Amino acid sequence: MGALGGSTRGRVRAGDHAPSPARRLVDSARCACSSTFPRFLRARSSTVVGILNGVDYGTWSPDVDTLIPARYDATDLTGKARCKAALQEELGLAVAAAPPLFAVISRLAEQKGVDLVADVADELLATSDAQLVVLGSGDPPLENALRALAERLPRRVAVRLGFDDALAHRIEAAADLFLMPSRYEPCGLSQLYSLRYGTVPVVHATGGLVDTVEDYDFAADRGTGFVFRAFGHTPFLEAIRRALALRQDAGRWQALQRRGMVCDFSWDAAATRYRTLYEAVLARPVRLV
């Protein structure tokens, strides 16, 4: 989350009168750091505020994106199908609309849950007609495992090691689902991009992921993605299968995409929260410690 992006202990103390707790932010900091700072945050958890990152929709939005083959928006998703076909051809995948195209754009590390992606990939690909595209670099064992999968199934799996911003845009525009099973994630941006591009996120219930993706409720037909609570092979695969089941209902699936696409995670929204927080802090005396 953005509120602690460059914080020091002094700055946090200056915000002691902030209005709302951010328990998940504290938990993410505890996972991410080995210093005393997470313990300091936990001691002040009732006054810590987490503010989500913002997205630059002037760059990351399919209606204005100059890096994708076809533009589209929540009122007309036709361009997304064109983007999918173009990416499949570019990466050597079988060009077809029906197979669900899963995407991962990430640092290839256990913190990002990429080992879990590699763990479920064989079963997912063996029990469905799914395709998978991965963009990123990181831990050599994970790179090797994903590369081996792509070599074994070249028409269904594409792996590009390294980072390519233009390709990242094309993947977001083309994919049907985005996999983000991070072990911990203070905020995250990829799930926010995915929501905007109608690429349904499947995420682990941690940090900013669970704050920004609403788990789909079949009974109420409500939600913006799929969330799994316990970190592990079976819960992750079950969330993926829930998503694949819903995708069989084109009307509900497109409604799910559109709900995500109209969410506002812009910097305007984040800036408003920062301003509200700063005004609340300035209205109260700073306690010197």
Tally of residues, the chain: 289
**Residues 218-264: tens digit of each pLDDT:** 999 999 999 999 999 999 999 999 999 999 999 999 999 999 999 99
Share the mean pLDDT of the chain: 87
Which band of pLDDT confidence, cut at 50, 70 and 90, is reported for residue 9? very low
Q: Would you say residue 2 has pLDDT above 90?
A: no
Provide the sign of the torsion angle of the four alpha carbons 218, 63, 180, 157, taken in this order: positive
Q: Would you say residue 105 has pLDDT above 60?
A: yes
Per-residue pLDDT at 151? 98
**Which pTM does this prediction carry?**
0.85
Domain range annotation of the chain? 2-54+266-282, 78-261
Can you tell me the distance from the alpha carbon of 176 to that of 201, in angstroms, rounded to the nearest whole number?
9
Q: Would you say residue 288 has pLDDT above 80?
A: no
Q: Which CATH superfamily is domain 78-261 in?
A: Glycogen Phosphorylase B; (3.40.50.2000)
Q: Which residue is associated with the tokens 């590369």?
A: 147
Can you tell me the distance from the alpha carbon of 87 to that of 5, in angstroms, rounded to the nearest whole number?
34
Q: Would you say residue 71 has pLDDT above 50?
A: yes
Can you tell me the distance from the alpha carbon of 278 to that of 282, in angstroms, rounded to the nearest whole number?
6
Which band of pLDDT confidence, cut at 50, 70 and 90, is reported for residue 271? confident
- Is-contact 10 168, C-beta < 8 A? no
- Is-contact 88 71, C-beta < 8 A? no
Per-residue pLDDT at 94? 98
- Is-contact 28 4, C-beta < 8 A? no
Q: Would you say residue 153 has pLDDT above 90?
A: yes
